[in-house]
Amino acid sequence: MLFSSIIFLFYFLPVVCALYFIVPARFNTIRNLILLLASLFFYSWGEPVYVFLMIYSSVFNFFMARQIEKDLLAERSDRANLIFTVVVNLFILGFFKYFGFLMDTINGILRTDFHYTALSLPIGISFYTFQALSYIFDVHKKTVPAQKNLLHFALYVALFPQLIAGPIVKYRDVAEQLQHRTTSLDKFGQGTVRFILGLGKKVLLANTFGALYEEITAYGHGDQATVLTFWIGALAYTLQIYFDFSGYSDMAIGLGKIFGFDFLENFNYPYISRSITDFWRRWHISLSSWFRDYVYFPLGGSYVDTKRRHIFNLLVVWALTGLWHGAAWNFVFWGMYYGIILIIEKYIIGERLTKIPGILQHVYTLFIVMVGWIFFSSASLGAALHYLSVMFGFGAHGLADITTLYHLRTSGILLFIGCIAATPYPIAYFRKFVDRHAGIALLVIFGIFLLSVAYLVYSSYNPFLYFRF
Amino acid sequence: MEIKEIQSTLTTQLKKALKLCVFIIVSVITFIKNIQRSFVIKVLLVTVLVLFMGAVYSLQDADDVPLSEIDKALKKETRIEKMEECSERQLMQLIGIDASAYDSFIYYKSKKALGVDELLIVKANNRADLDGVQDAVDKRISNQIATFQGYGPEQVAMLKDAIITKRGNYLFYCVASNPEQYEEVFKYAV
């Protein structure tokens, strides 16, 4: 089920809210049970078979965390149980997500033709597997005690607001909230506003930019493939992916707030970054911090003896980050691309970058990011290289043409609005506006909701880009 | 004398065999007793996982069958001749799918101007390519619903009951008064 769908907005969410708030706050276990059942229903709406996999993941990790804790309490080595748990989790992820990629690679390298069936990807598997692994690692490190109640743990894994596309909520951040959390009218209101803003970002902005990008990529090798048109397409995708994913995160955080949960922020205006290092502190924060805590630091992070070892650590983390996003070489390439740029920033241009004018720092960052998104959005590495070659004038049919002018005329204002909306200024202004004219602000929010619903009624299926991860 | 000797040898052998059996049984019981409950649960969990994965794989697997064979089966088992076979151009025009990007396809649509019956099977070169086909099909359904909304309740109902199934590298899409019949033939064929 999609957040941005009529079924979710007008049937599922009101019913779940009603059932949840009918139960008095002191009966937290019953409230958790309602949320868990609702989450399983939400997931099984689109994944009737794979809901079993999610239940399995909950039961398996719940049981194994208790085994690991038992070992720790008995002062035995928990290494065997830890390795077993990690291997099983990664095996599940690998089987469903990377099996086809592996077979294609084997067939490609060995020039064989092994028949196989690449399975359909269970939605959200990368997100909930990483959540479960964070729990296992934290229990192993004694950061948190193992959960004694399967219901609470299953809710942590399956909680529908962040189940499908994150943020990747670490267990330690919500452990207390699973047992005790507060709901209030104030929090409900804040959550609703955040949800509607996220809905507007996705439906009104991301989908519109997505349509523009799709139109431009369809030009392929045709006469309309000009340098400027392809740059407009790259900008459209840059804005689409930000509003799509940060919109989803806003909706998840808003829904969490409605039900009393406080999730950490996942985005902090990444497009105002002055360097790529800064960008990755602001983009998909929950994923970056997951890799930092559970891969980069255990590898030694930057506290290693040699520069070579540090570079190795960075490349491993970024290759894995790329691979996490998708089972294809263009994602691995995309991850390595960022790994290499971060190494260059760290060891070569870092100091110099801070000394150039601020505007040039922004231009540099956005240039790198926009080029990176081409690898990310393309169906294959070949398609990405073709698109990039046109952007840089190779194989392009001129600098611009009538189609470029058409796109500028029809989408120029919207692209400008998107660029402004990706900065903190509109929200900061809106907050001030809320303080002064609360009534009008409420009407604005209601207007965004109505427009989004109107768009949804007349639009086709529009899944979130991050669903495929 | 010889018989007695044989009897005593047999008795000794039997006793030895009996002792061995008792030893084996006691060992097995001791082994089972010593197995920790957690180990049994782990084995059970892994078994359940492997069975589930096997079941999912076999459900989604498909043989490498040429679409011409599926087409033959459809012509034999269903009333697909009531629809007209469409060309690559129509596939592009109506559903927005570029046939050259895929291995092969079959596309039939209703002969009637106001009919929404259609059947599409696309065989992709790899399964990941089917995502694009699915998006195009979803869009087609939404567009058709928007077209018939308000004056074609029967057509809208049929469109809402459309079947989209993926098997191996194939995507099957059908809008008809009994789409399950076509789906069954497709599933049997692959």
Residue-level pLDDT, tens digit, chain B, 190 residues: 577 788 888 888 888 888 888 888 887 777 666 667 778 888 899 999 999 888 888 877 777 788 888 888 888 888 888 888 888 888 888 888 888 888 889 999 988 878 899 999 999 877 767 878 888 888 888 888 888 877 778 888 888 888 988 888 889 999 988 888 898 888 888 7
B9-47 per-position pLDDT tens digit: 888 888 888 888 888 888 777 766 666 777 888 889 999
Q: Which of A162, A181, A200 is the last residue of a domain?
A: A181
- CA–CA separation, A425 and B107 (whole Å): 51
A210 in Cβ contact with A242 (< 8 Å): no
Q: Give the closest-approach CA distance of B82 to chain A in angstroms.
A: 29
Phi, psi of A120 (to 5 degrees): -70, 145
Axis crossing angle, helix A150-158 with helix A51-73, rounded to the nearest 10: 130
Three-state DSSP string of chain B:
CHHHHHHHHHHHHHHHHHHHHHHHHHHHHHHHHHCCHHHHHHHHHHHHHHHHHHHHHHHHCCCCCCHHHHHHHHHHHCCHHHEEECCHHHHHHHHCCCHHHCCEEEEEEECCCCCCCEEEEEECCCHHHHHHHHHHHHHHHHHHHHHHCCCCHHHHHHHHCCEEEEECCEEEEEECCCHHHHHHHHHHHC
pLDDT exceeds cutoff 70 at A461:
no
Catalytic residue among A152, A284, A310, A325: A325
Range of the domain at A311: 187-468
Mutate one of A4, A207, A460, A467 to test the B interface: name it (highest B CB count within 10 A).
A460
> Any CB–CB contact under 8 A between B98 and chain A?
no
Examine residue A381 and state whether it is found in any structural domain, yes or no: yes
Examine residue A435 and state whether it is found in any structural domain, yes or no: yes
Same domain, B32 and B51: yes
Examine residue A99 and state whether it is found in any structural domain, yes or no: yes
Mutate one of B37, B44, B51, B53 to test the A interface: name it (highest A CB count within 10 A).
B53
Examine residue A134 and state whether it is found in any structural domain, yes or no: yes
Same domain, A222 and A322: yes
Range of the domain at B38: 2-60
Same domain, A144 and A192: no
Same domain, A170 and A191: no
Same domain, A240 and A143: no
Same domain, B100 and B170: yes
Same domain, A395 and A269: yes
Res. A59 pLDDT band, cuts 50 70 90: very high
- CA–CA separation, B47 and B63 (whole Å): 27
Examine residue A17 and state whether it is found in any structural domain, yes or no: no
> Any CB–CB contact under 8 A between B57 and chain A?
yes
| Per-residue pLDDT at A99 | 84
- CA–CA separation, B75 and B58 (whole Å): 27
- Count up the domains in chain A and report the number: 2
Same domain, A245 and A341: yes
| Per-residue pLDDT at A282 | 94
Q: Which of B19, B40, B60 is the last residue of a domain?
A: B60
Query: Which of A49, A328, A460 is opposite residue B143, by nearest beta carbon?
Result: A460
A459 vs A342, which has greater pLDDT?
A342
Same domain, B6 and B28: yes
Same domain, A261 and A346: yes
Examine residue A16 and state whether it is found in any structural domain, yes or no: no
Closest by CA position to B190, among listed B101, B122, B99, B95: B122
A419-449 per-position pLDDT tens digit: 999 999 998 898 888 888 888 888 999 999 9
> Any CB–CB contact under 8 A between B131 and chain A?
yes
Same domain, B42 and B87: no
Same domain, B134 and B170: yes
Same domain, A173 and A204: no
Query: Which of A49, A118, A461 is opposite residue B142, by nearest beta carbon?
Result: A461
Q: Which of A163, A181, A199 is the last residue of a domain?
A: A181
- What are the percentages of helix, strand and coil residues in chain A, rounded to 5? 75, 0, 25
Same domain, B110 and B181: yes
Q: With 0-12 CB in 10 A as exposed, 13-18 as middle and 19+ as buried, what is A378? A: buried
Same domain, A110 and A81: yes
Same domain, B105 and B178: yes
- CA–CA separation, A437 and A453 (whole Å): 25
Same domain, A208 and A92: no
Same domain, B104 and B176: yes
pLDDT exceeds cutoff 80 at A466:
no
Cβ-Cβ contacts under 8 Å, A52 against chain B: 52
Same domain, B152 and B103: yes
pLDDT exceeds cutoff 80 at A198:
yes
Same domain, B111 and B174: yes
| Per-residue pLDDT at A437 | 87
Q: How distant, in Å, are the alpha carbons of A119, A247, B116 from that of B112?
A: 37, 43, 8
Q: Alpha helix (H) ranges present in A74-146?
A: 79-93, 99-110, 125-140
What pTM did the predictor assign?
A: 0.77
What's chain A's average pLDDT?
A: 88
Q: Give the closest-approach CA distance of B137 to chain A in angstroms.
A: 10
- Count up the domains in chain B and report the number: 2
- CA–CA separation, A108 and A371 (whole Å): 27
* CB–CB contacts below 8 A, A to B: 55
Same domain, B177 and B97: yes
Q: Which of A181, A203, A230 is the last residue of a domain?
A: A181
Same domain, A307 and A438: yes
| Cis peptide bond N-terminal to A270, omega within 30 | no
End-to-end CA distance of chain B: 74
Match 């611009």 to its residue by tokens.
A400
State whether A49 and B166 contact (CB < 8 Å).
no
Same domain, A160 and A208: no
Examine residue A443 and state whether it is found in any structural domain, yes or no: yes
State whether B126 and A115 contact (CB < 8 Å).
no
Same domain, B87 and B172: yes
Q: Which amino acid is at A416?
A: F
Examine residue A34 and state whether it is found in any structural domain, yes or no: yes
Does the structure's ipTM exceed the value 0.90? no
